[in-house]
Amino acid sequence: MSELRNKSVSFRANRLLTAWRLYASSAEFAGMNADDLQAQVQSAQDVRQQIQRAEALLSGLRQQRDHDENALSRRVTEIVNSVRGHLDYGEDCSFYRAIGYVPTSEQRRGRPRNAK
């Protein structure tokens, strides 16, 4: 068993199946024949391939999300800067506060001082 110590289950199962077909193809072990094990190995490999496809799809979707969110962030920054520079609104209006910024009249100035 030392050769198989750090090997994956699929590697061990494939090695078992190869040896089984080579040395004892007609024998049954644990109520199974080689064809039963082959079906189980194939099922596990199919699921593994489905997972790999899903991970590839997910990776692509994450990249698309990051791209779209970066574009959205740039657009939001442009809009906020436009509000800041607008003659009717500017940095000291309720709309500027509503979008999450502190109006200039409410900004705290200077270095904070600790009480003595």
112: left (phi over 0), alpha (psi -120 to 50) or beta: beta
Q: Is 83:95 a contact under the CB 8 Å cutoff?
A: yes
- Predicted local distance difference test score (pLDDT) of residue 57: 97
**Distance between CA atoms of 71 and 74, rounded to whole angstroms?**
5
Please check whether residue 86 lies inside any domain of the structure. Answer: yes
Is residue 113 in a domain?
Answer: no
Two tokens at 41? 């190995």
pLDDT at 115: 83
Q: Which domain holds residue 78?
A: 2-106
* Contact predicate 82/76, CB 8 Å: no
Inside any domain, residue 100: yes
Is 78 inside any structural domain? yes
More confident residue, 116 or 15: 15
Tell whether 114 is covered by a domain. Answer: no
Looking at the structure of the chain, the number of domains it has is 1
Q: Is residue 112, in this structure, part of any structural domain at all?
A: no
Side chain identity, residue 11? F
In a domain, 61, yes or no: yes
Q: pTM value?
A: 0.61
